[in-house]
């Protein structure tokens, strides 16, 4: 066990997976020689070989479509797409084939594939590098969409995703890659890919978020605690298929909730969370569930990014408003 | 690169070069091409009777499909589009499942475990990449299995065609890109699909051979594909084959070619009919008689009829299968919807 960043935890999980089975193949743009734009695959080509950590031509649809063929033939491809904003060229492959092959063939041909996609803003990158469009993937039947927010969970979730018999969109919160550290086992067991986690117990209000926004959500819970408010914090983790059992249990207890995500508000996953809570525990609610989200705008570039991304203060203020109603 | 398509039989069925296949092979190809024609006629008829939801006719493309698929070995992969039923059953896909798919049930998409044919793929041009991955996987596994993928002239305008060709070239994948250039993508003629002189020319940009072949000459199709399969199997890499043929019928049973093309061209192509061409050759060789023809058509009809009966008596697609097909293990939320749908 060693203290590791989220980036290191993902690298470790890939390294372990490559060591565990010859069926695993890592492929994507620049993943081999340079170790990827975020250096997540750094050192893996030297250790496991250029035939297993493969630099592909620059074509996302080509990468995913080819990986589908690998998967149907029994390999376990782990694809890296460099940024969420560059995943769109692969959309047709993901929606039309990756997500549907099992259904189309009544389980005869399956696609055990992981598509790793770094996502989210806050790093002052160029246009198209800060997208948080997880709701688009979560809407597609046949895909699992998951996102870790802690290093230890990331390692276990990635292992589970790689061992999963179905395609998994594995989102990686870019601004958390190297901002948090925690103890991560040298070889994590697989984590559940169908549950949420209560990571802080509270009794007054539930704050629920996922991925990169968990940082501000945790900070908001701390600030609320300082003013005497006991906030429970839920990391949704698994966005699709969504299982709100844990969250609903929390809200039944606290009676109040705020959903936080950096994606645009309209038709964002927060809407799905709130609709589900309404179905599961409407009569336990003391106040309407509130949302703290990105705006229905294009996420601005570096100079104005902070006007877009939900801040700790916005979460605290919104929670206080919900508590007052 | 051949500027004239590879041809052994001229449209009159006369051998213009030494035959690349023995007479037994030519006879076998003819038998399967007659079956293909019987099947296609039946498909059109069934759709008119309302017994198929849709049907994509392939009259005129029998040689391109039968003779190419005949070069494969068990264990090779096939990744079809949606107009290649003959190629699919030639490689083991049960005919009744092809009919079931056209009847409108997912049950048709699940071939037996030992059949390495992916089911029909509808989004034009999106499936060739899968063949590249399959061929690549076989190389990684150390086998000499190859993958063939079928598509039309229209598909060569899609981005994924180019990505597939590029990946296959770079990865040196044992993949055969088999283009049935049938002249039409629904209503768009080949001349407006690409400014390239031939589709085979496009291979140059991806570092692989491009082979132009008379797609209505079964012997030429067989020879071109056999060469490409051998090349792929030996590890020498991919090949693009352009089989020049013609879609004698409509795009689908919902299409009306009268809106966009003259019957003259179709009639002109009828003089190059692939089945009649091979028949004349076999007749010249003393290997065809009217009695044998009648027997072939009778046997073919019986086979297709049996497949139709089997397809029409397949179990009904139960509503819960909609949910059960989504994941290996039913997620709780979808299980709840399954219950809600009253599917239990």
Instruction: Concatenate the DSSP letters of all residues of B53-97 into one string.
Output: S-----TT-HHHHHHHHTT--TT-EEE--SS-HHHHHHTT--HHH
Distance (Å) from the alpha carbon of B76 to chain A's nearest alpha carbon: 11
Q: What is the mean pLDDT of residues A120-144?
A: 95
What pLDDT, in 10s, does the model give residues A208-252?
999 999 999 999 999 999 999 999 999 999 999 999 999 999 999
Active-site residue, from A129, A139, A261, A306 = A129
Q: Do B326 and A103 touch (CB under 8 A)?
A: yes
Q: At residue A20, does pLDDT exceed 70?
A: yes
Q: Is A245 on the interface with B (CB under 8 A)?
A: yes
B234-278 pLDDT, tens digit each: 999 999 999 999 999 999 989 999 999 999 989 999 999 999 999
Residue B344: what pLDDT?
57
SS3 B213: strand
Q: From the list B113, B137, B325, which residue is nearest A69 (CB)?
A: B137
Contact status, residue A167 vs residue A209, Cβ threshold 8 Å: no
Instruction: Report CB contact under 8 Å: B167, A93.
Output: no
pTM of the model: 0.97
pLDDT for B183 beyond 50 = yes
Are B63 and B214 in contact by the 8 Å Cβ rule? The answer is no
Question: ∠ CA(A305), CA(A311), CA(A317), 5° rounding?
Answer: 140
The residue of chain A nearest to residue B111, with distances taken between CA atoms, is A108
Residue B2 has pLDDT above 50, yes or no: no
Report the alpha-carbon distance of residue A247 to residue A258 in Å, rounded. 11
> A243 and B332: CB-CB below 8 Å?
yes
CA distance B140 to chain A (A): 8
Contact between B328 and A165 (Cβ < 8 Å): yes
Asked whether the beta carbons of residue A166 and residue B328 sit closer than 8 angstroms, the reply is yes
Question: Is A70 near chain B, with CB under 8 Å?
Answer: yes
Arithmetic mean of pLDDT over chain A: 97
* Model pLDDT, residue B1: 46
Closest CB from A66, A106, A165 relative to B109: A106
Mean of pLDDT over chain B: 96
Minimal CA–CA distance to A309: which of A270, A263, A274?
Answer: A263
Q: Does the model's ipTM exceed the 0.90 cut?
A: yes
Q: Is A305 exposed, middle or buried (0-12, 13-18, 19+ CB in 10 A)?
A: middle
Cβ of B118 within 8 Å of Cβ of A243? The answer is: no
- Which of A188-197, B85-94, B136-145, B309-318 bottoms out in mean pLDDT, i.e. has the lowest? B309-318
The answer to whether A32 faces chain B, any CB pair under 8 Å, is no
Among A residues 256-315, those touching chain B with beta carbons less than 8 Å apart: none
Q: How many CB pairs under 8 A join A and B?
A: 141
Q: Does A93 touch chain B (CB under 8 A)?
A: yes
Contact at CB, B328 and A59, closer than 8 angstroms: no
pLDDT digits (tens, 9 = 90+) for A22-45: 999 999 999 999 999 999 999 999
For chain B, how many helices (H) and strands (E)? 13, 7
């Amino acid at each position: 066990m060693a203290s590791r960043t989220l980036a290191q935890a993902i690298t470790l999980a890939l390294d372990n997976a490559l060591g565990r089975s010859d069926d695993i193949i890592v492929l994507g743009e620049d993943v081999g020689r340079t170790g990827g734009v975020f250096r997540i695959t750094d050192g893996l080509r030297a250790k496991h070989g250029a035939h297993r950590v493969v630099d592909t031509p620059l074509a996302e649809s080509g990468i995913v479509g080819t990986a589908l063929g690998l998967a149907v033939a029994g390999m376990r491809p782990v694809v890296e797409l460099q940024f969420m904003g560059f995943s769109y060229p692969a959309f047709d492959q993901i929606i039309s084939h990756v997500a549907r092959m099992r259904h189309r063939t009544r389980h005869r041909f399956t696609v055990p594939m992981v598509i790793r996609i770094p996502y989210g803003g806050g790093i002052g990158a160029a246009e198209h590098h800060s997208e948080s469009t997880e709701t688009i993937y979560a809407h597609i039947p046949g895909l699992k969409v998951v996102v870790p927010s802690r290093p230890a969970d990331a390692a276990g979730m990635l292992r589970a995703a790689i061992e999963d018999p179905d395609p998994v969109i594995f989102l990686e919160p870019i601004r958390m890659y190297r901002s948090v550290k925690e103890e991560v086992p040298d070889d994590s067991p697989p984590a559940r890919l169908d549950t949420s986690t209560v990571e802080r117990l509270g009794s007054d209000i539930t704050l629920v978020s996922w991925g990169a926004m968990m940082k501000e959500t945790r900070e908001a819970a701390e600030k609320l605690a300082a003013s005497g408010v006991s906030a429970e914090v839920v990391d949704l983790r698994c966005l699709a298929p969504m299982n709100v059992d844990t969250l609903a249990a929390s809200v039944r207890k606290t009676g109040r909730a705020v959903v936080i995500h950096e994606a645009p508000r309209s038709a964002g996953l927060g809407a799905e969370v709130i609709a589900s809570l309404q179905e599961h525990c409407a009569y336990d609610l003391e106040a309407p569930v509130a949302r703290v989200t990105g705006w229905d705008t294009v996420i601005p570039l570096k100079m104005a990014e902070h006007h877009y991304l939900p801040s700790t203060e916005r979460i605290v203020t919104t929670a206080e408003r919900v508590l007052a109603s | 690169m051949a500027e004239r398509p590879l041809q052994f039989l001229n449209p009159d069925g006369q051998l213009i070069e030494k035959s690349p296949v023995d007479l037994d092979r030519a006879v076998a190809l003819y038998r399967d091409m007659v079956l293909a024609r019987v099947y296609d006629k039946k498909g059109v008829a069934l759709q008119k009777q309302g017994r198929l939801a849709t049907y994509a006719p392939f009259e005129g493309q029998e040689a391109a499909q039968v003779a190419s698929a005949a070069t494969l070995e068990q264990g090779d992969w096939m990744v079809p589009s949606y107009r290649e039923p003959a190629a699919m059953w030639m490689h083991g896909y049960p005919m009744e499942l092809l009919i079931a798919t056209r009847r409108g049930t997912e049950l048709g998409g699940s071939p037996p475990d030992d059949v390495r044919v992916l089911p029909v793929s509808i989004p034009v041009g999106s499936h060739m990449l899968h063949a590249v991955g399959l061929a690549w996987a076989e190389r990684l596994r150390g086998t000499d299995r190859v993958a063939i993928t079928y598509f039309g002239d229209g598909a060569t305008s899609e981005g994924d065609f180019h990505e597939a060709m590029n990946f296959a070239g770079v990865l040196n994948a044992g993949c055969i890109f088999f283009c049935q250039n049938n002249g039409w993508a629904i209503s768009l003629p080949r001349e407006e699909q690409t400014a390239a002189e031939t589709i085979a020319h496009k291979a140059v940009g991806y570092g692989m051979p491009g082979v132009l072949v008379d797609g209505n000459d079964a012997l030429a199709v067989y020879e071109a594909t056999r060469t490409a399969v051998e090349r792929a199997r030996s590890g020498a890499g991919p090949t693009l084959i352009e089989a020049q043929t013609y879609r004698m019928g409509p795009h689908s049973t919902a299409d009306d070619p009268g809106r966009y093309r003259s019957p003259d061209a179709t009639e002109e192509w009828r003089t190059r009919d692939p089945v009649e061409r091979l028949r004349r050759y076999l007749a010249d060789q003393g290997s065809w008689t009217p009695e044998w023809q009648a027997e072939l058509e009778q046997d073919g009809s019986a086979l297709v009829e049996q497949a139709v009966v089997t397809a029409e008596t397949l179990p009904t697609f139960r509503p819960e299968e909609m949910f059960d097909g989504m994941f290996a293990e039913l997620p709780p939320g979808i299980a709840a919807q399954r219950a809600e749908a009253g599917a239990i």
